[in-house]
Amino acid sequence: MGTELLAPLDLAFWHLETDAHPMHLGALAVFSPAPAPAPGVTADTVVELLGARAAAIPRLRMRVRDVLLPVGGAAWSVDKDFDVCRHVQRVLLPRDDESPDGGFMAGATRLAGELMERPLERGLPPWEMYVISGADEGPFAVLVKLHHALADGMRAVAIGAGIFDEIASLGARARGGVSARRARPVPPRSWMPGPRQVAGFALGRLEDLSRAFGVGASVVWASRLDLRGAPALTAISSGTRRLATAELDGESVRRIRRIVGGTTNDVLLGVVAGALRRWMVERGERLPVADPRALVPVSRRRPGTGATSGNRLSAYLLGLPVSESDPWERLRTVRTAMDRNKAAGPLRGAGAVAVLADQLPSLAHRFGAPLAGSAARMLFDVLVTSVPLPRSALSLGGCPLRAVYPMAPLARGQSLAIALSTYGGRVQIGLVADGKAVPDLERLARCAEDELRELLDLLPVGQPSQRSR
C-alpha cells in the first residue's frame, strides 16, 4: 500500500480534533475465559495475539502526513518506523474494581472511559487497543480506538473484525493465496495531477461546488428551525469522558417492531427517546420546550461494494419526542419522522452536513474546522448511531466474544453520544458523555432498560397494532 489522499470528509474529522475533543470512535469488546480444554490463554498472550493480527492489517500501519498539493490536504502513508507495541497494551484493573461490589464490567467501563479521554498521538498510525483484565484468568475486555478519519462505523467494523479468530484465519489464507501471484509491489498512487487531468479536475470542482451549494442550502434551511434542545445535552466541554453500557433483549425489540411497524432501528430510537425522558424526569429537570434533535448517521456505501477506505456518511435529523408521555405515541412519532427522512433522502436537512463536508476543498477544512466544530450544537443535540456487526459467533484466542459496546465521539458543545449494535441476540448500547456534565450516566443506561420493560408490559393492553396506523 502506497500513498493515498485523505478524502474531504476524512480530512474534516482530522482537523476537527482538539485535545478536549478527540475524534476517535471505539468499541469495548468483552470476552469470557476460553472454555476447556483450551488452557493457557492469559491477558499477555491476548496482547501478543492482538499485536500480530493488527500488524497484519495494512491500513493500521499507515499514518497521516501533510502534502503540498492539494493545498491544505493530507495523505495516508506507510509508517516506516511502525511498532505495534506502541499501539497494543495491557491495562490491569485495580483490585477494588475486581471486588464483588464493583464487578469486572463496572471496573472495565470506568477504566475505558479514562482511556477514551486521551487523544491519539497524531504522528503515529491513529489507533490503539487496550486489553483490560484482572489479576486472574477471568473475563477480559478489549478497548479499540480508531480515529474517525481512519474509518466510519462500517469501515471500523471491517478493520476491527480482523482481530477475531474466525476472520483472521480467513485473511491469512487469502494473503497466502495472492502473495505468490504478485511479482512486483504495487507502486504508490501519486497525488500530483498530470497535464491532461487539470481540465477534468477544474470541471469536477465546478460540479462539486454546485452540488455543495444545493446541500448547503438544505443544511442552512434546516438549521433555522427552533434549536432550543435539552439543556442536559449541551455543555462546555471539560475534556473528560465517562462511559456506561446497557443491554436490551433483541427478541423483545423485534416483538415490538412487529406490532408498531417500521424498522428495528426505529424502535431503538423510540427507546432512546423514552430513556432520555425518564432520565430528565428522575433528575428533576423540566422537559425542554423543543424536543432535542438527534443526528442519526446513514451509510452512503452502496450494497455489495464492500467497506472501502474513508468515510461514506450522511445523516438524518430526528426530533426525539421526550415531551410525549405515551410510550407508544413516542414510537409512532419516531417512525413517522424516520419515514419522512427516508423519503426525502440523505441529501436534505441538517444531517447532510457530512455530505457538504465531502464537497469542500482541503483548505476549507484546514481553516474552517474550528467554526464547523462550534456549529455542531446549532444543528443537533445528541448523536445516536447504529453500528452493524457480524451475525456469526466470534472469539479471540479461543475466548468467546460476549458483547460489543460501540462508542461514538462527542461533538464540541455536546455532552452525550449514543451508539447501538446487535450481537448474540442482544442489543448493546454504548453511552459516551462528558464526565463533568453527565456524572450520572449509569442512570441513563438503566432508563433505557426500564423503557423497554415498560413497552413489553404494555403489549397486551388494547390493540397496539392499531397504533402504527
pLDDT tens digits, one per residue of 391-429: 889 999 999 999 999 999 988 888 999 999 999 999 999
In angstroms, rounded to a whole number, what is the distance separating the alpha carbons of residues 323 and 287?
6
Between 87 and 463, where is the model more confident? Answer: 87
CA–CA gap between residue 87 and residue 122 (Å, rounded) = 12
Report, as an integer, the average pLDDT of 287-303: 78
Contact 468, 335 (CB under 8 A): yes
Looking at residue 189, its pLDDT comes to 42
Q: How far apart are CA 272 and CA 449, in angstroms?
A: 10
Q: Please tell me the predicted confidence (pLDDT) of residue 238.
A: 83
**% the chain with pLDDT above 90:** 45
More confident residue, 438 or 363: 438
- Rounded to 5°, angle at Cα 74 from 69 and 77: 110
Q: Cβ distance 381 to 418 under 8 Å?
A: no
Evaluate if residue 262 carries a pLDDT over 80. yes
**What is residue 97's predicted lDDT score, i.e. its pLDDT?**
55
Do 111 and 140 touch, CB atoms closer than 8 A? Answer: no
What φ, ψ does residue 427 adopt, rounded to 5°? -95, 115
Spatial contact of 319 and 359, defined as CB atoms under 8 Å apart: no
State the average pLDDT over residues 71-75. Answer: 85
The span from the CA of 166 to the CA of 155, in Å, is 18
Predicted local confidence at residue 307, as pLDDT: 46
Segment 331-339 mean pLDDT = 95
- pLDDT on residue 68: 84
3-state SS, 110-169, equals: HHHHHHHHCCCCCCCCCEEEEEEECCCCCCEEEEEEEECCCECHHHHHHHHHHHCHHHHH
